[in-house]
Each structure stands twice: as C-alpha cells, then as structure tokens.
Structure 1
Amino acid sequence: MSEGYAGGRGPLLRLWGVPVHVPASGVVGVALIAVLWAPNFVLSGAPASQQYALAVIFAVLLYLSILLHEAAHAFAARAFGYPVTKIVLWVLGGFTQYERARPAPGKEAAIAAAGPLTTLAVAGLAYLALAATGDSLDVRAVVVLEALAWGNAFMGLYNLLPGLPLDGGAVLRSAVWALTGSENRGAVVAGWAGRGLAVLMIVTPFALAFARDVRPSLGLVVVAAIFAAFLWTGASDALRRARVNRHIPGLSARRLARRAVNVDADLPLAEAIRRMTAAGARSIVVVDRDGRPIGVGEDAAIAAVPPARQPWLAVSAVARTLHPTAVLPASLTGYDLVEAVTAHPATEYLVVDDEAEQAAVAGSRQVVGVLTTADVENELRTGPHDE
C-alpha cells in the first residue's frame, strides 16, 4: 500500500529508518477495536464517557502492540540482510514489506515467527505488570492491562495458526520448503491450510451455539466472517502466486520472442503489415539506414489505426523509440527475465542474440525478435504452450 496517514502520501513516522504508514483504514481499525471492546470497560458507577475513553486508550495501545509486532518482523529481516521498505498499519492489523535477498526457509521462518512471539511477549509483560502491582493499581488501569494481555495473547496465537496469509502459515511454508526443497510447494500447502482455517473460522460460531443449544451470537458471526474473509482472500492470493511462480523457471526470452520484420521508419504502415504477414512474423522493428533497430511497433497503436488510414501513415507513427533498457539478451530465462522486465516496465522489448550488444545500436543480424509483456503474463498464467 502506498497510502500515508489519513490519506497523505508520507509516512506517519520512521522506526529505525523504516517508514511507518497509517492509512485512513488504520484509523478506522482503532475505532472498530474501541467499539467492539467497549462492553468490557463497564465499571460500576462510572459514566459511559469513561467506558469509551478506556476503550479508545486500549485500542491505541493495541495498535502500538501491532506496531511492535511489525517492528519485530522488520528487525528480523534486517538482521538477515533483507532491505525493509515500509511498515503499514491498516484496518485488519499490519504488514511489513521487505525485499527478499537470497531467501532461505530458515530465514523466512524466523522473520515470520518474530512478530507473533513479540506479541505474546507483550501479553506476558501485561500479565506480569498486573501480578506485580496487585491491588495497588487503579481499577481503570487494571481493566486496560487485562484487556491488553488478553488481546495480545489472542493476536499472537491467531497469527501462529498454520495457514497463509498468517505468520504461522509463513512458518509452515518454510517448513515444507525445507523438507521438499520447493518454496512453491510450501506455498501451496500453506495456502490450502489457510483456506481450511477460513472455513473452520466461519463454522466455529455455529458449532459453539449448537454445542450450547443456543442461537449463534450475531456479533460473533460477523467477526468470524470478517476474519474468515481475510484468511480466504489471503490464502487464495498465495495460491495464485504459487501457480504463477510455478511457471517462472520455464520462461525464456528467446522462445517467447515474436518473429519480427525490419522496416524503414517512413514505410507506410499498410506495407509494413503486409510484409509482416507475408513473413509469418508478428511484430515490426523499425531500423535506420544502416539497418540498426531504432524502434519497435506498438501492438496497441497499430491495432488502433483504421485500415483506411494505414496506407497514409508512416510506421514510425506507431512505433516506440527503442531505449537501451528495452533491449534484452535472448539468453535471459526464469527469474532473471522477470527481474529484467520488472526493473524496466514496457509493453515491448527487443530481444537480441548477443549479450554484449544490449543497446539500441545492435546490428539487425543480432535481432531475435520482439518480446511483449502480454506474452510473458499469458505464459505465467497458463504455462508454456505451442505456437
């Protein structure tokens, strides 16, 4: 998420240099916690205003606990040399974004476990504070500390449940990864476990009501539905990413490159299309007088030109000037290809045969073809297929 505090773009604060963002949904989260927990702060003889004031104090402290949870993730990631991009606190909690440099199952498990273990530690400290102070503490402080202890205990144990997108799911993914050598297989196992937890979450209020022979609590059903939806959505996203990642190793710039025809910049588009069709090609490369590529025909721009205008329009009008970053070696495969395309987004790339000539001045004899982002995305969705 790129939102800042209350819709702003900048971070609310920085923690060890890491920007912490609190979008508007984070403020909604504080309010939601206060409303849900307000019934727990009813004190005999106290006005309703005090009840809600204590609920707000608790909600803010709980969000600070969530910040500590995310800070633990960030600290662990940095300890393993992973660059941490940001921390975001939103309506359903928070997340820490970091770059996975040379990921390993042990590192990933440690980073995932750091958050809920810190949350359980906060719960333990709140309980110890209650035990140490005894009856000397003000009753208002007691109820807030009790709620903080129970709230953090619930969050810590909930996050340790073995299913994605929870931290426990990341630990499960790492365990399967370590056992099988396949991170993708670990993600599939943890993703399905997350879906199973979502089903269990939505069934629980009805099972409890059935066991007690009472009607299900509407509030409990709503809360369970929210958590179940979060789990199901996150688990489904993890499974979709796993399906995509399964196809990444098979990517090849040489294989995916479309055959292209070289044409002069002032050639009419209709003639360029005729030559492309006659050659059995699917792309157009614009070359200078020396035969060096200077542009690539854009599929969307070409398709937008009505047939009646094509004879009167130069092919240069529907070509994108070739930038050095849009020239890729044919030897690129797998994650290296994905990284190259992600680092310099474009709709088309010129694929050349010689890595040493990754420049727009590459000779025409070195051109393998044109790689489109659409073809890469299609293969990631469906896997390799015959032309």
Structure 2
Amino acid sequence: MPTPSLRLPGLPPIRVSGATAVMVVLIAVLVQPSFAVLPALSAGAAIGLSVLLALCLVVSILLHELAHAFSARAAGAQVDHIALTLWGGHTTYRSRRVSHGASVLISLSGPATNLLIGLLALLASSAAPDGGAAQQLLSLLSTLNLTLTAFNLLPGLPMDGGRALESILAAVLGSSAVGTRITAWIGRGIAVVVLAIPLLSLGSLDPSYGIVLLIWGAMIAMMLWQGASAALRAVRQQEALDGLSIADLARGARIVRADAPLSALEQSSLGAEQGALAVVIGSDGSAGLLDPDAVAAVPAHQRDQVPAGAVTAFHGPPGRISSTLEGEALLRVLGAHGRALHLVIDPSGAVVGVITAADVRARLQGR
C-alpha cells in the first residue's frame, strides 16, 4: 500500500507513514502521567492533552525536516520528499555539489529549529497560569523539543550531529569514507547506550512506564544501529564503485554466430583465455553466452548438425560500452543499458571483452 503524501504549495512532498500514529500513541502514553497529576483535570482531559502534545511534537518534527529541506534547496540540492515515520522523520535530497560547509549547515538546521521551538515554548509556559494545563503542555513541549535538539546533536550517524561531524571530518581528513566510518561506529555506540539506559532504569520506574520506555528505547536503538550500519555499507559500496574499471569487470570474449555449427568451433579457443566467454550473436541481434558444459554434452558425431545457438541462453541485444570508461561513469552506462550482457568496444571499434550483469553485482557486493 503506497504511503499517503501531502502536497502543499512551495513544499516538497510530505509522506506520512501509518507508523506515525504509533509514535503519537507511544508519546501520549509516556506523557500522560504528567497530566494525570494535575488535580483540576479529569482522566479524559489528561488523555486528550497527552494526544495533543504528541501531535504538537509531530508538527515540531515536521518543522525540523522542513528546515533541512529549505537549507538543502538553498545549497543547490534537489529535495525529493520529507517522510514522517515511527522514528520521527527524514528528508531525502540529492546533489553532487553540496560543499562540506553547506552539509554541516543542512544537518544542523533541523536541531536549530527544535531548539527555537523549545525556547519559545519555555517562554510561553512562563507566561501561562501557574499549575494550569496550558503551562504543563507548554513546559512539556519545551522539554521534548530541547530533548530532541540534544538527541539529534549526538555525534554519531544517522543523527544530524553525526552527519555534521561526518562532513567536518571529511573536510579535515580529506576522506569522506574515514569520516563516515568514524561517525557510524559512534552511532553504533550510541545505540547501545540508548538501549542500556531504560534497561538499567527498570528497577527504579513504575513497571508499566518502564516497559513502555524500554520498548521505545529498543526501537530507537534499532533505528540508530540500522542507520549506522547502512552508512558503513554505503561506504564499502562507494569504495568499490570508485575503484571500478573495465579491467575489474570484463572477461575475454569470442564472438560466435548462432548458426555456426559446433564442429566449426575450435574447442581449444573457447577456453584458451582464463575466464574467457564465448558470446553468441543471433540473427536478430540478441546475444547470449555459449555454455561450455552444454557444448561438451553434445556427442562428437552430432556437432556438425548442432548450431551454437542451440546451446545458448539469449538475453536480448547486448549493451556496448567503451573500454575507456571507469568509476561512476562506467556504472551509470552499465545501469542505463539494463542489459544482462555488455560488449566492451575499444577505440577502433573492435570487441575486446564482455561484462555480465552478474559480474557487476558480485563486484559491488564485494564477492
């Protein structure tokens, strides 16, 4: 089922996950005891104010993400969408030109927004009637936003503070990969601490409240660990991509006509080059790989009657790529073709190798 999206003038699409409602319920449960202690409030009113506070926090999270989106746009990035989820929210944007300094500002704009909301709510609560529901609501809103500010500024991925530190380390150390690895491992450490705090506090809290806090902490810890782990995987993939070359991917190729009889093929030439592949070209331009095992299974007395195409799995027309491509440019061309086979063409136009989609996937996955 697609995630519902809000489209408002001047704003990027806002995707609201159904799990956002779960977040609202969890927050309401956590803050309800703070309203229940007010003598003038009924139980129903305390629950209503708890839900209202949770919704106000969702709005605060949305403003946080909008700050990321607007600062990213100002830096020249393209904002795809904002997502509100069980974990809070995130902003997805793309750009190859954002400087390290701009990345720091984009990362810190969200926590700065929560800090401003928290301070404004704190000022408003000081002007509200003492001991009233309005003062409690504003005070808790301030506390939650200031807590979000502090939490988001933690220096580990995927938190905003971690992203800012990642950019700073990349600029200072001259390596984005090193910066990402450092902040991702810090993020993993923070995940362990986030899980440990409610576990160690269970004995000193009301059981029902402690269990809710533990569940919430476990979900946040899981989010942090997964985000940090995703960053580490992305680094490994990017390093594999940066070092990608034709030499890493291409195998030797021999072009074979589909109607050529097997008896006309010199078996020694099919395996003369280590890892070489026989590429069979059909009359319609489709290509496939000659299967040496299938060739070997054809009796010798029948090889003058069996065409190469009969022992070939065709995959449609092959892609054609230049032997001079490397890195991201090579991967973009391979992805744009979307073919199972790619013929490598040298500057003279000759076929000098073949790349299979399976080999590309294995290379990027580190196999």
Q: Return the TM-score normalized by structure 1.
A: 0.80
Counting aligned pairs with the same residue, the percent is 35
One-letter amino acid matched to 2:48: A
Shift of 1:194: 0.6
Shift of 1:29: 2.1
Separation in 2 of the partners of 1:379 and 1:195? 27
Q: Which residue of 1 aligns with 2:49?
A: 54
Distance 1:157 1:307, change over 3 A: farther
Separation in 2 of the partners of 1:260 and 1:120? 62
Separation in 1 of the partners of 2:201 and 2:172? 37
Q: 2:35 aligns with which of 12, 32, 41?
A: 41
Separation in 2 of the partners of 1:111 and 1:304? 57
Preserved CA contact (<8 Å) 1:352 1:366: yes
Preserved CA contact (<8 Å) 1:276 1:282: no
Q: Which residue of 1 aligns with 2:288?
A: 297
One-letter amino acid matched to 2:81: K
**Once structures 1 and 2 are overlaid, which stretch shifts more, 41-50 or 235-244?**
41-50
Residues 90-169 of structure 1: pairs in structure 2 closer than 5 A: 90-131=85-126, 133-135=127-129, 139-169=132-162
Residues 1-387 of structure 1: pairs in structure 2 closer than 5 A: 3-5=2-4, 11-14=5-8, 16-42=10-36, 43-131=38-126, 133-135=127-129, 139-207=132-200, 217-267=210-260, 277-280=270-273, 282-287=276-281, 294-297=285-288, 311=306, 314=309, 318-322=313-317, 326-354=319-347, 365-382=349-366
Distance 1:224 1:27, change over 3 A: closer
Distance 1:252 1:154, change over 3 A: same
Distance 1:346 1:275, change over 3 A: farther
Query: For 1:232, what is the secondary structure of its paired residue?
Result: helix
Corresponding pairs, count: 359
Separation in 1 of the partners of 2:26 and 2:206? 27
Shift of 1:203: 2.5
Structure (1 or 2) with the larger CA radius of gyration: 2
Preserved CA contact (<8 Å) 2:101 2:167: yes
Q: Which residue of 2 aligns with 1:359?
A: none
Shift of 1:171: 0.9
Query: For 2:13, what is the secondary structure of its paired residue?
Result: strand
Structure 1 vs Structure 2 CA RMSD:
3.6
Preserved CA contact (<8 Å) 1:286 1:316: no
Shift of 1:373: 3.0
Shift of 1:273: 11
Distance 1:21 1:340, change over 3 A: same
> Which digits, 9 at most, give the CA deviation of each residue in 1:245-271, with x for residues without a partner?
222221102441122221224457998
Distance 1:102 1:213, change over 3 A: closer
> Which digits, 9 at most, give the CA deviation of each residue in 1:35-73, with x for residues without a partner?
332222223243322222212211221111111111111
Structure 2 residue ranges without an equivalent (≥5): none
Query: For 1:223, what is the secondary structure of its paired residue?
Result: helix
